[in-house]
Structure 1
Amino acid sequence: MSGLPTQHAVPALVLAYFAYYGVLGIFIPYLGLFLDGRGLSSYDIGVLLALVTATRIVGPSLWAAVAERQGRPLLIMRLGAVLALFGWLSSFFDQGFWLLLLGFSIFSFFWTAILPQLEVTTFHFLNDNTSRYSRIRSSGSVGYIVLVLIGGVLLQSLGTESLPYGAAILMLLLIGSLFLLPELSPPTESSSARKGFGRLLSQPVFLCFMGAAFILQMSFAPFYGFFTLYARDLGYSGVATGLFISLAVLAEIVAFFWMGTLLKQRSYRLVLSCCYGLTMLRWLMLAYLAHSPFWLAVSMLMHAGSFAIAHSCAMHFIQHYFPKALRSRGQALYAGLIFGGGGAVGAYAAGIFWQDGAGSTQTFVIAAATAGVAMLFALCLPTQVHAVVSERTAD
């Protein structure tokens, strides 16, 4: 890998992560408020989020297969961003549940074409340097936090109908950043590698890893789908809610920055298990202590472990477990099953238990118990990922 393409790629990658997660900084925290403002019940919100999230189960793997067949991951990302914007346009029209479901499903399906290919592209340009990846990925956290803050102000001053416009602007910025990326030649996948992919998926260590991540993602559903409604019901303003979420993302940025050093010095299993245990404690704090600004702030700081460090551990696992030619498919499978499957099951369950706010405490307690189960799975993983690689190579 020559220095020139990488030098040109880094600014575009930083901008792409900023814009991609900036969209999510509007979409994830405030979508519940937006849908509530459109008159949907918590059950309707849960169903819509579950169905939309379910499109992420098959989407990443489908787009990864197309990207590998065509050998042009940048084209797939660009196409996905443009068509995702098309689906998002439905949010500009207040025509009830079904138009939103259709539009958001289109948005979500094509949105899944972006991140797995962006992750693989980033590692490709950085020659698998985890430390540099974490620092570039932190620009996504910056984008998220900036848009969370702006979104909180806009929602309080202009109302929830300002959300579609903010997200659309960020999608246009994302499209522009993807066209700034230089072309690359990803490694080709041999027939033996294709056969080996199925064998890798059946290994107990991989099943254990995916099971832990799937269950943990389920536990995040009440937070992603209903936290802004929860904060509003507790008496927090839109600006205050945005500040609390921003505090979580600030902790995430710091964690991403130091993640490479952290994994080099400690047991992979220990780090991941601690993250999952911290997540369990975090949901319990939201259930019983969220009325206190101090304890709510403490729970938000735990996002550094429950998301940032846990996510970096997952990326570290994928990059070391799969050979280069299969990493795109590995990333796509992870994104589809974890964020799609785990997110969809969790969103549907949260919509049932939430009961328009009456079951909020119960829902976060269930989420804590779910995270505890994920921690038990994580404790069964090997101490270091390189041990997994050695066993795989020996096969």
Structure 2
Amino acid sequence: MFSISARPALVLAYFTYFGVLGIFVPYFGLFLDGRGLSSADIGLLLAIVTASRIVGPTVWALIAERSGKPLTVMRLGALLAAIGWLSSFADYGFWPLLLGFALFSFFWTAILPQLEVATFAFVNDDTRAYSRIRTAGSVGYIVLVMLGGWLFERYGSEFLPLSALLFLVLLLTSLFLLPKVSVNAELSSEPVRFSKLIKNSVLLRFMLAALLLQMSFAPFYGFFTLYSRDLGYSGTQTGLFIGLAVAAEIAAFYFAGNLMRNRSYRVLLSVCYGLTVLRWSLLATVADNVWLLCFSMLLHAGSFAIAHSCAMQFIQQFFPKKLRSRGQALYAGVIFGGGGAIGAYFSGLIWQNGKGASLAFMIAALLALSATLLALTLPGSKAGAKALQ
């Protein structure tokens, strides 16, 4: 099978993967609103769809671990996700949409954890190299967010099904360009048991903090485009706001490796989570001021990019090589699946078609504050997690 060298293939894979999310995440709420769903229905649908990401990563990680073929798992997941996405072209009401998007989300979870593990294998656990490759994902996201704002103004919310499908096809193509990687071939027979590691107090505190932070993102991911519209901003302006956040993310990812060197998880995560408290507080109170709104978007550099890079390195260091696939799956399932689902459901209830927007973001700020306090209890050195294996 034709393939290209690892680095450009990985760049293309991240670009297309997050390009799909650049269409799906910011504009999905508008799409569902255009289909006539209430904010409560949108929150419920997002919660159930996101909940499929709790089990999915672990299922796919076990398949990848036992088969020793992470590329096959990623390719199968992308193919089945594209098939599930086809349901978005039909308008038959709430339940068919729910079923189609739940299937899409479940198969979608096969991709990123394996891609992260494969990337770290290709770069020999070099965090700086990983961060720079991961930057391509942010570029893909910002390109599609900006394009999505223009498409929304021109064609309305129904631009989403075809646009996302095209990038799903490109993603599948990029995965077939990746060179073969067999993570199991590099693994040692380390005797550490997964069941023992997941009971470790450091991991539990780290996971709970990350869970609370992800819950705090729910109003932003699910309703920001609607919030921006209600505040009187145009679709193009909304795209620019989100694009500004992702531009800050790109810069942060690029320099993350250097920034994280010799700094503890406690310092990095507590600062990032603290910036998130400020970010949601600004959205709750002064989002009608365009300059302060733009400033809040720049905080995405810390609240997502550096926090995510730090989390990936924590997982890589905490879990031995043979368990990293399941470690990534645990993180993806609990944090993005569980945290996203809980946050989406309650955000939908609180939002009340825009009337509860400020309250939703203030609650998000409180969740981020709780995450900050937990992060302050983490070890003072990076060696602390690894030493507990």
TM-score by length of 1: 0.96
The reply on whether 1:104 has 2:107 as its aligned counterpart is no
Is 1:140 matched up with 2:137? yes
2:47 to 21, 25, 50: 50
- In the alignment, which of 161, 164, 180 is matched to residue 164 of structure 1? 161
8 Å Cα contact 1:275/1:309 also seen in 2: yes
Question: Contact between 1:321 and 1:385, CA under 8 Å: does it hold in 2?
Answer: no
Out of 360, 367, 381, the residue aligned to residue 357 of structure 2 is 360
Taking every aligned residue pair, what percent have the same amino acid on both sides? Answer: 64
Cα shift at 1:267:
2.7
Give, in angstroms, the shift of residue 388 of structure 1: 2.0
| Partner amino acid, structure 2, of 1:378 | A
Once residues 369 and 50 of structure 2 are traced to their aligned partners in structure 1, the CA distance between those partners, rounded to angstroms, is 23
Residue 120 of structure 1 is matched in structure 2 by 117
Corresponding position: 1:61 with 2:41: no
Is 2:188 the counterpart of 1:211? Answer: no
Distance 2:215 2:260 in 1: 25
Amino acid at match of 1:95: Y
Q: Distance in 1 between matches of 2:223 and 2:95?
A: 20
Q: Which amino acid aligns with 1:19?
A: T
Q: CA deviation at 1:385?
A: 2.0
Counterpart mapping for 1:191-340 below 5 A? 193=190, 196-340=193-337
Distance 1:194 1:347, change over 3 A: farther
Secondary structure in structure 1 of the residue aligned to 2:124: coil
RMSD across aligned C-alpha pairs, in angstroms? Answer: 1.6
188-197 vs 274-283, which deviates more?
188-197
- Residue 387 of structure 2: aligned partner: 390
User: Which letter does structure 1 place at the counterpart of 2:6?
Assistant: A
C-alpha distance 193-98 of structure 1, shift in aligned 2 (>3 A):
farther
Q: Give the drift of 1:186.
A: 1.1
SS at match of 1:391: coil
How far 1:305 sits from its partner (Å)?
Answer: 0.3
Is residue 188–residue 322 contact of structure 2 (8 Å, CA) maintained in 1? no
Q: What is the alpha-carbon distance in structure 2 between the residues aligned to residue 141 and residue 171 of structure 1?
A: 16
Paired residues of 1:193 and 1:326 also in contact (CA < 8 A): no
The residue number in structure 2 matching 1:3 is: none
- Aligned partners of 2:264 and 2:382 also within 8 Å: no
Q: Which residue of 2 aligns with 1:151?
A: 148
Q: 1:75 aligns with which of 55, 72, 76?
A: 72
2:146–2:243 CA contact under 8 A, matched in 1: yes
* TM superposition shift of 1:189: 9.7
| Cα contact 2:25–2:222 (8 A) shared by 1 | yes
Residue of structure 1 in register with 2:340 after alignment: 343
**In 2: Cα distance, 1:316 partner to 1:282 partner:** 24
- Residues 188 and 321 in structure 2, CA contact (< 8 A), matched pair in contact too: no
Contact kept, 8 Å, 1:217 with 1:338, in 2: the verdict is yes
| Equivalent residue, structure 2, for 1:372 | 369
Q: Report the Cα offset of residue 55 of structure 1.
A: 0.2
CA distance in 2 between counterparts of 1:47 and 1:113 reads 23
Q: Is the 8 A contact 2:218 2:347 kept in 1?
A: yes
User: Runs of 4 or more off by more than 2 Å in structure 1?
Assistant: 187-195, 265-268
The alignment partner of 2:36 has SS state of coil
Tell me: CA distance 1:189–1:338, structure 2 relative to 1, closer, same or farther (3 Å).
Answer: farther
Distance in 2 separating the partners of 1:212 and 1:312:
15
**Structure 2 unmatched ranges of 5 or more:** none
CA contact (8 A) 1:67 1:73 kept: yes
Give CA deviations for 1:131-164 in whole Å, capped at 9, x if unaligned.
0000000000000000000000000011111111
Q: Deviations over 1:257-290 (max 9, x none)?
A: 1111111143321111010011011001000110
Q: CA deviation at 1:185?
A: 1.6
Structure 1: which 5+ residue stretches go unaligned? 1-5
- Rounded to whole Å, the distance in 2 between the matches of 1:157 and 1:311 is 34
* Count of residue correspondences: 388
CA distance in 2, matches of 1:101, 1:391: 42
Deviation, 1:195, is 5.6
Q: Which residue identity does 1:243 align to in structure 2?
A: L
Q: What's the TM-score, normalizing by structure 2?
A: 0.97
Alpha-carbon displacement from aligned partner over 1:28-84 (angstroms, at most 9, x marks no partner): 000000000000000000000000000000000100000011110000000000000
